[in-house]
Structure 1
Amino acid sequence: MENNNNISNKKDSDHKRDHLLKIYLTEGEKATIKKMAKMVGISCSAFGRAILMDSEYKKELLDILKVRYEVNKIGANLNQMAKVANQSGQVPKAKLIKNMHRNILTQLNRI
């Protein structure tokens, strides 16, 4: 029984994150990493571990980032369409388009 306790304690200490890995980044690289971590709702440390260590999570994370990127592109297009609609007096349709974009982003944030 005593051995089991030692094993579990060792296992706990093996999983403690007390080692620092220092890397050098440009200001742009640092900003990109922070932005990507924020986009998926995790810390920069968790993001780095996920990208470097977990290939399955990495694929899911990259898929989410790709979807968010595409939705943001769609949003930019919708904003351009809304601007034209506002200028032409078709405001109700423009508001509908903006609401649809906002709803899509809300759903993506839940993933």
Structure 2
Amino acid sequence: MARPRTPKFAKRLHRMEVQLNDPEKAEIAARADALGLPVAAYMRSVVLGSEPPSRRAGVDAEAVAALNRVGSNLNQIAKVGNKSGTLTAVQIKALGALHAQIARTAAKIGDALA
């Protein structure tokens, strides 16, 4: 499934420039890094008066890879099911195994984010 398009009004089409000395630049970069944000996102939140988002949780690369494999397998089974209109007992069993793998991966991701 493709990522939804960003509405035109939400796209950032303009660039602004600000003059900083070395200590100011380092301080802003350090504050942005402490929150896990790009400098531009941090500066937007501060200048526009919104609360900077909290630090983003780290992503477990192994869990993401496992989830990608599960998604790929699920897409293959769905393609066969959509083409033929039915699923075999083997395919249904594979779906059960995928369901269990999804549950394990979701739990692992939940633990990583807790």
Query: Does the alignment reach a TM-score above 0.5?
Result: no
Question: Higher relative contact order at CA 8 Å, sep ≥6: structure 1 or structure 2?
Answer: 2
Greater helix share, structure number: 1
TM-score, L = length of structure 2: 0.38
